[in-house]
Amino acid sequence: MKVLLLTGLGALFFAYYWDDNFDPASLHGARVLLTGVSAGIGEELAYHYARLGSHLVLTAHTEALLQQVVGNCRKLGAPKVFYIAADMASPEVPERVVQFALDKLGGLDYLVLNHLGAAPAGTRVRSSQSTRWLMQAFTPSPSGLGFLLRPVTRSRHLQMNFLSYVQLTSSALPSLTDSKGSLVVVSSLLGRVPTSFSSPYSAAKFALDSFFSSLRRELDVQEVNVAITMCVLGLRDRASAAEGVRGITRVRAAPGPKAALAVIRGGATRASGVFYPWRFHLLCLLRSWMPHSRAWFVRQELNITTPAAA
């Protein structure tokens, strides 16, 4: 009986991932606002959308790098590409970026959130200062389609980064509602399954995941037809916010272009979640189902022969 049950569950699990209803043509002419495109997964996302014929508004902090990505997108066939250099830590910037996109594209079908806030100068990934800076608890309170942010500590840097996601989402929701569009949030496995030496990064991602889970429930209650796709990615083969765990973890980096394509497919099919590589979904499930085996999972993730950097 147990064998049959496990076989059935396995068949359902693999059927879930093999069910492919992605239509690349659906993204031709789609209006996309994409943040954090100067490098890494954001850059790869921009190139995939360009090849698929989407109309793009791209934003990042560094204008020189942003212009290079825009030029490449035009070469790859994007019919319309606009850009706006923006520092999302500035409170007035997110709404201005959304308005720029609406003015240039006439509306939005996709808002893809990928940007990260920079740590204060002098902090390191595993330092106690960095941990105090990032470790906050947030209480998003629903009020219409907007949310109130109540930071427990005084970290303005993370507060403004978190607030930028809230402001971008709130500003874009009316247009996404009209187009029955999608909100795509690029997150990390470390926001679901925290591991050693990653507490600052995990704290930030967990806060964002919690916010968008709450937002999804509110949209469902209000019957607002906007899909929210949470994308859980592992380490990538390009720039990564979890650079400090390289050499310590056994987890191999995922190819950036393939991870980006998985994000785009998930958003286009309005999936509630994307896990890349797909085995991360199974890992998250096992960690939830077998909490007493957590120490074993942690040991499997770490290369214990490599000493942690001071």
Q: Computed over its alpha carbons, how large is the radius of gyration of the chain?
A: 19
Which DSSP category does 76 fall into? T
Q: How far is Cα 298 from Cα 198, in angstroms, rounded to an integer?
A: 12
Closest CA to 185 of 201, 159, 200, 207: 207
The answer to whether 88 touches 164, Cβ cutoff 8 Å, is yes
Q: How far is Cα 233 from Cα 41, in angstroms, rounded to an integer?
A: 10
CB neighbour class for 168 (10 Å; exposed up to 12, middle 13-18, buried from 19)? buried
* Residue burial 232-264, b: 16+ Cβ < 10 Å; e: rest: bbbbbebebbbebbeebbebeebebbebbbbbb
Told to judge if 276 belongs to the known catalytic residues of this protein, a careful annotator would answer no
- Tokens representing 46 are 């921009």
C-alpha distances (whole Å) from 100 to each of 86, 93, 237, 263 are 11, 10, 32, 24
- Which of 83, 110, 201, 276 is the catalytic position? 201
Q: How far is Cα 268 from Cα 105, in angstroms, rounded to an integer?
A: 18
Closest CA to 167 of 90, 233, 105, 231: 90
- Active site amino acids: 201
